[in-house]
Amino acid sequence: MHTGISRIIADLNEIAKFVNFKSQRADIIAMRPELLDVEILSGKRTFTLGVEGISDRMRRYLHKSLNEQELLKALEQIYARKPRQLKLFFMITGLENDKDRKEFKDFIMKLKRLKNELSPGCRTIMSFGLLVNLPFTPMQFASTIKDPDSIKQIKGDLKRDCETNGFEFRMAQDTEEFLISQHVALGGFECFNVLSDFAKNGGYFDGEHIIGDKNALISSLRSASGEGLYGSKDENYVFPFETLKGTPAISFLYRMYNEAKSFLDTGYCLEGKGVCIGCDGCDDRKLSKVPEVAQDDINRPKKTAERKKKPQVVKAAVTIKEAGRFLTPEAKCAFTGRALLEYLPSLVKDYLACRQVQNMPASKGYGFLFGRFLYDFEFLSGSEVFLEYLKTGAIETPILSISCVSEKETGTNFRITSSWKDVSRYSFQNRLQEFLLGNGMGFDIAKSGGVTHFEVAVKDRKKKLLNSAIFQQDNGCVSLEIETGSNFSIISILKHLFGEEWMEAKVEAI
């Protein structure tokens, strides 16, 4: 970890709504728990730790340089700060024995006591993966997991110990995808044609999973590479791509592998955690320092957090053009931010430091139907710059435009006017009643001076759809005024009332 990580977090916190990173070392948290304070002040509420081995012995095998005492100390510090979620990631190697499994069960019991005492509401997830022996690491020499049945008992014991103590159990990857990943990781050019044929037959990776006949792919890969890839290997084994420039020396990797086989972990190049292990990754062979947390690195996020609680808000309309009609909500937000910052680069810090989301309740008015959305733009400061710019003209891009918003496009009360061809006396009333009853809303009806009032029952207003409706039907035209709740979507009532002609209706906020 960078020795100035707390300063980096404090700096990023001033230009981003949240500062987060995937995973961090438990031993550094144990040594510098004040790092957690900087992270929490910067908006972090979920923590992930890579524990790797399920016991001290297995962590020595994986050269994690982390013992249970350090791990529990770090977890105690995290739970004491009441996080929303904690995720611990473990590796299954296939070498775990009964003693290792007993040690894991004891650890789970200790963790349960910590959680119940300090943070009973924290969601805690135990995620397990099968060890992929990666190239350019000491584990490339080790035998790999080839038969999933060999670790079935281990998985079952770990799952039972987690779930009976109230922790979620997850496998990070399905077995077939693990076997494919492991083979491709250690395989060479002989895998290319196999993967190419798999793709030609319709197989692909969708970003999360491999789609296609995975068992056939595994069989073809094994036929192409042979059995030597799966067994243990000596120093003379020739790995694909081992001559690439910048890779660790084979002699170093093999020495570390022999230490792993002996379950020997001499630490790593951090002060207080060991000595230089001779990887030749640096020239001076100096030990890294444990990160220091300056008081200013805590004070600055505190001040920024207070400012973020009271952002300056400007309501503006975002009109999506034809080129962006199929964008997801997240993409709309991203392109909106990009457009704003391209036109007003002086607002980069003030804009990025706040949450930018579409104002959905307000967007359910007229504009919501026709690609015009209402956004609450938040800024730490400088909102007047944005507002003044919009008064002079819209921000235009090929995908969208940003402009000032009319008062008729905001609010939760709307007036709908439309032609109504059915001249029978109760035709519109019956259609409106169908909508209310179809959505489980009871109501009372009152009439006066040609106007019909619908009052939704108090208990049904909890659905946050409609509170009331007032309409008048006259001379082939109908006018409807509705008071809506936060779960109401105007498009649903328009389609029900007006059918295929719903887009002809005029909608405005009142």
CATH number of residue 466's parent domain: 3.30.160.110
For residue 54, being part of any structural domain is answered with yes
For residue 7, being part of any structural domain is answered with no
Statement to judge: residues 440 and 392 lie in one domain = no
Is 51 within 8 Å of 59 (Cβ atoms)?
yes
Q: What is the total count of domains within the chain?
A: 3
Residue 407 tokens read as 């008062």
CA gap 396, 1 in Å, rounded: 43
Place of tokens 């106007």: 451
**Burial call 390-420: b when 16+ CB within 10 Å, e when fewer:** beeeebebebbbbbebeeebbbbebbbebeb
pLDDT digits (tens, 9 = 90+) for 67-82: 999 999 999 999 999 9
Give me the DSSP letters along 19-86. Answer: ---S-B-HHHHHH-THHHHHHHHTT--EEEEEEESSSHHHHHHTT----HHHHHHHHHHHHHT--SEE
CA gap 162, 164 in Å, rounded: 6
Is 28 within 8 Å of 291 (Cβ atoms)?
yes
Statement to judge: residues 359 and 420 lie in one domain = no
CA gap 333, 317 in Å, rounded: 12
For residue 437, being part of any structural domain is answered with yes
Q: How many CA atoms lie within 13 A of 134 on its CB side?
A: 7
For residue 426, being part of any structural domain is answered with yes
CA gap 492, 472 in Å, rounded: 20
pTM value is 0.73
Q: At what angle do helices 190-200 and 214-225 cross, to 10 degrees?
A: 160
For residue 504, being part of any structural domain is answered with yes
DSSP code for 509: E
Query: Measuring CA to CA, which residue among 401, 403, 404 is closest to residue 339?
Result: 401
Statement to judge: residues 233 and 342 lie in one domain = no
pLDDT digits (tens, 9 = 90+) for 219-247: 999 999 988 889 999 999 988 888 887 77
Distance of CA 326 to CAs 177, 398, 436, 500, 503, Å?
32, 14, 31, 22, 19
Domain boundary among 261, 295, 322: 261
Statement to judge: residues 393 and 418 lie in one domain = no
CA gap 178, 156 in Å, rounded: 18
Domain that holds residue 498: 413-509
Q: In this predicted structure, what is the pLDDT of residue 358? A: 52
Statement to judge: residues 187 and 49 lie in one domain = yes
Domain boundary among 384, 409, 434: 409
Q: In this predicted structure, what is the pLDDT of residue 272? A: 85
Q: In this predicted structure, what is the pLDDT of residue 149? A: 83
User: To 5 degrees, how large is the angle CA 421–CA 422–CA 424?
Assistant: 145
Residues with pLDDT less than 50, the chain: 360-370
Listing from the earlier edge strand, what are the strands of the sheet with 400-404?
A: 357-358, 372-379, 312-320, 400-404, 395-396
**H/E segment holding residue 127:** strand 123-130
Rg (CA), the chain: 31
Statement to judge: residues 348 and 362 lie in one domain = yes
Statement to judge: residues 450 and 380 lie in one domain = no
DSSP code for 286: P
Residue 71 tokens read as 């791990």
For residue 461, being part of any structural domain is answered with yes
For residue 493, being part of any structural domain is answered with yes
Q: In this predicted structure, what is the pLDDT of residue 313? A: 87
Statement to judge: residues 139 and 257 lie in one domain = yes
Here the CATH number for the domain that contains residue 200 is 3.30.750.200
Q: Which residues pair with 450 in a beta bridge?
A: none
For residue 176, being part of any structural domain is answered with yes
Give me the DSSP letters along 342-390. Answer: HH-GGGHHHHHTS--EE-HHHHTSHHHHTTEEEEEEEESS-HHHHHHHH
Statement to judge: residues 362 and 467 lie in one domain = no
Residue 463 tokens read as 């659905």
Statement to judge: residues 342 and 417 lie in one domain = no
Domain boundary among 366, 394, 409: 409
DSSP code for 466: E
CA gap 80, 222 in Å, rounded: 49
Query: Measuring CA to CA, which residue among 224, 64, 244 is closest to residue 139?
Result: 64
Residue 134 tokens read as 């990666």
Check residue 280 and give left, alpha or beta (phi > 0: left; psi -120 to 50: alpha).
left
Is 212 within 8 Å of 202 (Cβ atoms)?
yes
Give me the DSSP letters along 176-225. Answer: HHHHHHHHHHH--THHHHHHHHHHHTT-EE-SSSEES-HHHHHHHHHHHH
Cα 493 vs. chain centroid, distance in angstroms? Answer: 34
Statement to judge: residues 393 and 472 lie in one domain = no
For 420-487, strand residue ranges (E) read 443-448, 451-456, 466-474, 477-484
Statement to judge: residues 342 and 444 lie in one domain = no
Is 407 within 8 Å of 317 (Cβ atoms)?
no
